[in-house]
Structure 1
Amino acid sequence: MPKQIIIPPGSPPPLAPYSPGTRAGNVVYVSGVLAMASDGTTVGVGDVETQTRHVLFTIKSVVETAGGTMDDIAFNSIFLKSLDDYTAMNRVYAEFFPSSPPARYCIRADLVRPEFLVEIASIAHLS
């Protein structure tokens, strides 16, 4: 099955050799998304809610560019710089997944730049 690279308009430049998303059949894999503007600058420095919102809007744009919706997301991997931000991240996360949220895990991890507070990667199964 051939894969299709998904790059939504306005995507920030990648920090490494990867694509924002890849579609294989009806499955969309969204790379780990960080709070980066299209010019590569960090969005919401010091504010995990702003960063989480930006990350989830970016994930939404990848999934929609591939032909899906946020309801098609089946699994999220969440990485937080500090577990002290867990509650604040969840407040924003619940706005994007108000009912029937996808399966997920959340761990504390060092992220690629010190100003990044949250990173989320997603898997969507398009209907």
Structure 2
Amino acid sequence: MIKGDFKSEVKQVLINLNGVLKGGGSSLQQAIKLTVFLTDLSHFAQVNEIFNDFFPDNPPARSAVQVSALPMNARIEIDAVGHVK
């Protein structure tokens, strides 16, 4: 878990998610739908900045939900559906 800079936390979540997707035969680039859970929706603009770096072309469908808390005091969690060829 990364603490401190929110953008670093977003990047690490996406890196971890890519590893999980690859373990299942997919990847972030093959993601179909992402659900972003945030404890503070005011961070959404920062999430968009990082997403633009990870998904410069053809980003997956995405929704964002504000939640009161996440495990381990995380500020962001992302759920993904990936396509497997």
Q: TM-score range by the shorter chain?
A: 0.7 to 0.9
Determine the structure 2 residue equivalent to 1:71.
Answer: 29
In the superposition, relative to structure 1, how do residues 117 and 68 fare at CA in structure 2: closer, same or farther (>3 Å)? same
Q: How many residues align?
A: 85
In the superposition, relative to structure 1, how do residues 48 and 67 fare at CA in structure 2: closer, same or farther (>3 Å)? same
Greater strand percent: which structure? 1
3-state SS of 1:74 partner:
strand
Determine the structure 1 residue equivalent to 2:14.
Answer: 56
Determine the structure 2 residue equivalent to 1:112.
Answer: 70
Among candidates 74, 82, 85, match of residue 124 of structure 1: 82
Determine the structure 2 residue equivalent to 1:47.
Answer: 5
What is the TM-score with the length of structure 2 in the denominator? 0.87
RMSD: 1.5
8 Å CA contact retained: 1:76, 1:105:
yes
The superposition leaves residues 73-120 of structure 1 with CA deviations (integer Å, 9 ceiling, x where unpaired) of 000000111111111111111211111011110121122347311110
What is the TM-score with the length of structure 1 in the denominator? 0.61
1:95 aligns with 2:53: yes
The superposition leaves residues 54-76 of structure 1 with CA deviations (integer Å, 9 ceiling, x where unpaired) of 11001100111222222210000
- Unmatched tracts of structure 2, length 5 or more: none
8 Å CA contact retained: 2:32, 2:81:
yes
In the superposition, relative to structure 1, how do residues 111 and 72 fare at CA in structure 2: closer, same or farther (>3 Å)? same
Identity rate, percent: 24
Is the radius of gyration larger for structure 1 or structure 2?
A: 1
- Cα separation, 2, equivalents of 1:94 and 1:57: 14
In the superposition, relative to structure 1, how do residues 61 and 114 fare at CA in structure 2: closer, same or farther (>3 Å)? closer
8 Å CA contact retained: 1:75, 1:122:
yes
8 Å CA contact retained: 1:77, 1:122:
yes
Which protein, 1 or 2, shows the higher relative CO under an 8 Å CA cutoff with sep ≥ 6? 2
